[in-house]
């Protein structure tokens, strides 16, 4: 019975790899994949304060079933004040990511240039709005020699030497990609920070078919919000939620981190939930502009009999350069 469940689970993962984008459980620690408007948006960053941020993410999932699905990303972004526009700020960033899925080494590689514009609406710019866009390319490739097809089944075994009768026109595709997003930020005071935004990815629906047809990547809508609530006991609570929908598939991740400060170090503990799929515990540290976080997806869906409750480990590392010494930043965006 478990053998058949494993097959079902493998097919489920494969379908998601083909029809959906990469997705990180630590979505706030991958800001440029979350929303182009989040480019160079760092909580409690004054407009006009020039900053640089760099980070990377790694996720490994599906190892309990078959060949693991590995996702890598790296980004760098920064803010630039506008001398002639006291309430305005530009942000620029570069995002690279690669997703390697399944036995056929289905590679999804992308390079995106992000830009954002932020405008403050009150005297101290504590209420502000940002618009962002991203432009770049997507490359999808597959190693067909590692795959087997139904026509290669001779009734007893799979014969890799037999013709697959598949009419692949190419095994590597390049396509241009466009994303757009908006973001609202409200710093009510130094103890309460609110942020919410939305983004639309693949506006132009890039064509990514290995056959001579018009198969395209579906548009993906992401809606997200997060907050930072600081207390008098060197404690901050950082709830967040993310909703995405693509190709009639939805994903909801919600939860919170709790950060405890002692001198210049913060210990982070969190608990997150991907609706109907995963429970995600998290642990991390912040120190002198660095943030390191490790989480694990515990699969609790109806397929847990095949996955044995195993999902995937995820690691994020972010460094903020040049911040003035105003205490330890307290947000999942850093």
pLDDT attached to residue 67: 63
Give, in order, the Cα–Cα distances in Å from 137 to each of 173, 180, 206: 10, 15, 9
Structure tokens given for 212: 């001579």
Cα–Cα distance measured from residue 280 to residue 273, given in angstroms and rounded to the nearest whole number: 6
Tell me the HSE value of 92 on the side-chain side, using a 13 A CA sphere. 3
Can you give the residue ranges of every domain in the chain?
A: 2-239
Neighbours of 109 (CB within 10 A): 17
pLDDT attached to residue 113: 98
Residue with tokens 């997806």: 297
pLDDT attached to residue 65: 57
Asked if residue 250 lies in contact with residue 231, where contact means CB atoms within 8 angstroms, the answer is: no
Cα–Cα distance measured from residue 65 to residue 9, given in angstroms and rounded to the nearest whole number: 7
Give, in order, the Cα–Cα distances in Å from 62 to each of 11, 139, 191, 323: 11, 23, 40, 38
Work out the widest C-alpha separation in the chain, in whole angstroms: 76
pLDDT, averaged in runs of 10, over the chain (334 residues): 38 41 88 95 76 93 67 93 80 93 74 95 89 95 68 67 62 90 93 96 88 82 96 90 93 96 92 94 94 94 63 92 52 35
Cα–Cα distance measured from residue 55 to residue 209, given in angstroms and rounded to the nearest whole number: 31
In degrees rounded to 5, what are phi and psi of residue 215?
-65, 130
Looking only at the bridges linking them, the beta strands covering 69-81 and 88-101 are antiparallel
Residue of 193, 244, 188 lying closest to 35 (CA atoms): 244
Residue with tokens 């939930």: 273
- The alpha carbon of residue 270 and the mean position of all alpha carbons in its chain are separated, in whole angstroms, by 17
Give, in order, the Cα–Cα distances in Å from 41 to each of 239, 258, 275: 17, 21, 27
């Amino acid at each position: 019975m478990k053998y058949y469940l494993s097959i079902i689970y493998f097919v489920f993962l494969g379908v998601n790899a083909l029809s959906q984008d990469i997705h990180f459980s630590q979505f706030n620690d991958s800001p440029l994949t979350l929303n182009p408007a989040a480019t160079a948006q760092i909580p409690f960053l004054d407009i006009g304060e020039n900053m640089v941020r760099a980070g990377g993410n790694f996720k490994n999932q599906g190892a309990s079933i078959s060949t693991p699905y590995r996702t890598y990303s790296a980004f760098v972004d920064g803010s630039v004040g506008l001398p002639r526009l006291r309430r305005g700020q530009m942000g620029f960033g570069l995002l690279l990511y690669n997703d390697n899925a399944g036995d056929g080494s289905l590679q999804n590689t992308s390079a995106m240039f992000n830009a954002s514009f932020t405008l403050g609406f009150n005297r101290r710019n504590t209420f502000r709005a940002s618009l962002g866009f991203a432009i770049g390319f997507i490359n999808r490739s597959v190693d067909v020699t590692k795959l087997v097809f139904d026509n290669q089944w001779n009734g007893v075994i799979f014969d890799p030497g037999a013709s697959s009768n598949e009419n692949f026109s190419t095994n590597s595709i390049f396509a241009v990609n466009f994303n757009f997003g908006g973001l609202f930020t409200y710093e009510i005071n130094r103890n309460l920070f609110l942020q919410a935004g939305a983004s639309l990815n693949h506006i132009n629906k890039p064509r990514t078919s290995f056959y001579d047809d018009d198969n395209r990547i579906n548009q993906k809508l992401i809606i997200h919000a997060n907050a930072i609530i600081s207390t008098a006991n060197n404690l901050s609570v950082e709830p967040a939620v993310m909703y995405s929908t693509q190709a009639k598939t939805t994903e909801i991740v919600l939860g919170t981190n709790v950060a405890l400060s002692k001198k210049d170090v913060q210990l982070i503990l969190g608990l997150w939930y991907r609706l109907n799929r995963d429970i995600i515990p998290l642990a991390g540290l912040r120190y002198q502009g660095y943030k390191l976080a490790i989480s694990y997806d515990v699969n609790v869906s109806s397929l847990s009999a095949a996955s044995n409750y195993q999902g995937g480990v995820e690691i994020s590392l972010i460094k903020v350069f040049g911040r003035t010494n105003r205490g330890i930043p307290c947000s999942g965006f850093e």
